[in-house]
Structure 1
């Protein structure tokens, strides 16, 4: 169980080295189990005349001694008593991810949870590839049909990962909290709206157990799903076009569960809004995309005698890309691109701002890159209740231009989510 999504960097002739780190504290109940377990690592490899190579992978796991206080209702920030994976089963040689091949492809897994669960959180991992690797820039099918572009991925730029429990929609895109404690078998399924191939999806269910009770009781009082609302404005003139896509989604659930701690009443809501504007110009060679996603995720719990902190997460995702393709003749082309992306998240007293910008050009001759320059900059700011962190990194091709790190907190008041350094 557990997952970390990785995409290989394009190598040089002499090879390339990269590394990644992930805090796996939330899986501690799994890691400390007194039995032999299997760690599965999968990374696809491109095999052709140019990039064929061999990966050499080292995996290290570090354990740190810690004393944890009991913190009822702290959610995924504290460790769960179990980790229940939702993925393909071993043994396999092609990874454990579910592969979603199209919009009607649904992956289903049957499961049972212990009868003394008083809280559960589902986390979902998603990775998109092939025809949906750049889904945010896919033009609508009307544009493709009008121009007979049989090799261009379409279905428009809106995608949504849906999670259903026993046939009922319970979450979209981001993690959510739902508790069923009757000990019966349930079915959890995953799908992607408007999907082309291929989406990799897996998940972990984190249950918290009531050690003083063999069985908890609960009831779903209210479950409301506002139908997905999608609107599109399409203006096509030959290979040029302008497209605007908007979408909204809302899901709300209320229920109670009785354990040895008392009766907890919980209400969870998800509100999503989405806007994507796309321009195709210069007979389809110029591609401009501006996309924004707003997400409001709230969980409120009440229990007599306890001060349960509400879990509130306000997120904003922004993505902008400008890409211009120029055919220079003799099998040679020039591509110029500028990309800006980032997200802001405000959660209780913590704020995260992550802003990234990249630009560059690439000359391709006979399907091989013969020249190019790529520049990137990333600014990351975390303002927490007890600590802060700042990182500003810039690079050009394979050279780090500067790398600034700071730990000073920025306490100026902000009442909205903004972008920029």
Structure 2
């Protein structure tokens, strides 16, 4: 088993590698109705202004523990809570941790919130690694790791996992793996502990709508069999492009005719699709994850990681239009594929959970799929040779699916419209120096629900629109004296609007922006890199539920600014 794979984004530069779920080497949010959030040990620190600490001339052997600007998971006030240890392990190879989860008897089986927390520490030298946590076969958490300082770091991640309550109500097998390699050179052992905190009580109305009655997984190729009274079905896919090859940098791949180190027949456009019994049922734009060794420059990420790096968010697909079909009591084939990946090439992991809401007053909910309309699939990459090579890519796809279910509270019709657009300009010179990408992705989804009680009156449709957009704008250059510099901006944005009868009832906006500029001497021992770097993140949310605004800045590994305010 290889511990890393060397590939070039820039001649003479080594991209640091990581390992995907212990299978093969790897390298390199949030949907509005999920309250998942990442935090470092000081993520809940009080508001403060510039700290003005002493900043060294360059990175030393230690730096501030990893920290993100995302909010910590909110907790219910004055609620009884119980803690359960789920996994505790030192990962130094590809051996998974296996144990047994037991529900907290003293907190019952109804909870207003369940919060997962990972606490980790590592020291020495190590790559970024990817990992997963399964409880009862359900993937409840996927993460990547920070890279350590020689003196050692500690970090933590929090996630709201209330939606997996169905799984957590009974004893379950646990599997956790962060595939790692430890030898004379790469000495960092990943020491992690995962706990769950349960808060007794009923969830508030908004949270309750996000908590399904059942959580199902696809096991042993037997297909998916839903309860026969299912009235709402959501699939979530923890899709990550990795595996140590070019699919970790899928957004930089080029067609065969272009002289670049990462090839893909159709260029960099990727689309994660889900199908039911061979019928296309959903499309989504994958998030362009950048792990903590990404863009040839680990000094960009030592303190402030890229968006979603520690809490990898699943893609979500509303399969409710297929509920009538799925409710026939037979197993159905659910398949996930990634459009754009060269045929026969691995590099994507796509585990699936299926969340089901049931009609408790019906034994069998019938219905039908009434529409599947697929728009033209566009994917073109135009290569322009020259002293500066250039690849311009445009990709897009539309899909509309609709169906109804006849429930105890009337006929409910669900229509899902989704539109994906990707544009990118990739430029590089001979030797891939410099190497630059300016890319945009949009994923616009509208779900309209008609009927079923309060929405049965004409003009009272309930509509939720989620407009997701991701951006990546960066350049890597190898200059005089093998000084490698990376300048990069990443954006993770979402706008959510809920309406009823055409009137807005709730709304929110997310803007998570990371910027970094780091330089070091490549191709020399670690203690001779003379690295410098400034990184920052501003995480903002605002809307009908209020606002949150936090900004971080680090310089040479020192946190120089941590500001809160709206």
TM-score, normalising length from structure 2? Answer: 0.62
**Helix, strand or coil at the partner of 2:175:** coil
Q: Deviations over 1:309-349 (max 9, x none)?
A: 31210112111111112374xxxx32100110112211121
In the alignment, the residues of structure 2 paired with residue 204 and residue 305 of structure 1 have an alpha-carbon distance, to the nearest angstrom, of 29
Instruction: After superposition, give the CA deviation of every residue in 1:218-243 in whole Å (9 maximum; x if it has no partner).
Output: 100111112421112111247x4101
**Once the 2 structures are TM-superposed, how far is the Cα of residue 391 of structure 1 from its aligned partner?**
0.9
Report the aligned-residue RMSD: 2.2
Q: What residue ranges of structure 2 are gaps of 5+ in the alignment?
A: 1-137, 285-314, 456-460, 498-506
Task: Please give the residue correspondences for 1:241-390 in structure 2 after superposition, counting only pairs within 5 Å.
Answer: 241-303=389-451, 305-307=453-455, 309-326=462-479, 328=481, 333-348=482-497, 349-366=507-524, 368=526, 370-390=529-549
- Say whether the 8 Å CA contact 2:140–2:161 is kept in structure 1: no
2:268 alignment partner, SS class: coil
Other-structure match for 1:183: 329
Look up the match of 2:171.
36
State the secondary structure of the residue aligned to 1:30. Answer: helix
The yes-or-no answer on 1:20 pairing with 2:133 is no
CA–CA separation in structure 2 for the residues paired with 1:137 and 1:315: 21
Q: 1:153 aligns with which of 229, 239, 262?
A: 262
Superposed CA offset, 1:365-417 (max 9, x none): 347573212321111111131221111111123321111122x3xxxxxxxxx
Rounded to whole Å, the distance in 2 between the matches of 1:341 and 1:370 is: 25
Q: Which runs of 4+ in 1 moved over 4 A?
A: 366-369
User: Is 1:393 matched up with 2:393?
Assistant: no
Aligned residue for 1:336, secondary structure, equals: strand
CA distances 1:247-279 after superposition (whole Å, capped 9, x unpaired): 011110111101112110111010011101110
> Which runs of 5 or more residues in structure 1 are unaligned?
90-107, 409-421
Q: Name the SS of the counterpart of 1:135 in structure 2.
A: helix
Q: How far apart, CA to CA, are the structure 2 residues paired with 1:187 and 1:197? A: 21
Q: How many matched pairs?
A: 372
> Mapping of 1:101-116 within 5 angstroms?
110-116=223-229
Higher relative contact order (CA 8 A, sep 6+): 2
1:213 alignment counterpart: 362
Q: Which residue of 1 aligns with 2:93?
A: none
Q: Structure 1 residues 43-52 or 344-353, which shifts more?
A: 43-52
Partner of 2:193 in structure 1?
58
Q: Distance in 1 between matches of 2:542 and 2:249?
A: 31
* 1:44-63 Cα deviation digits (max 9, x unpaired): 21345422332211111111
Distance 1:197 1:14, change over 3 A: farther
Contact 2:217 2:224 in 1 (8 A): no
Alignment equivalent of 1:223, drawn from 372, 375, 382: 372
Normalising to structure 1: TM-score of the pair?
A: 0.83
Q: Which residue does 2:144 correspond to in 1?
A: 7
Work out the CA distance in 2 between the residues paired with 1:280 and 1:364.
19
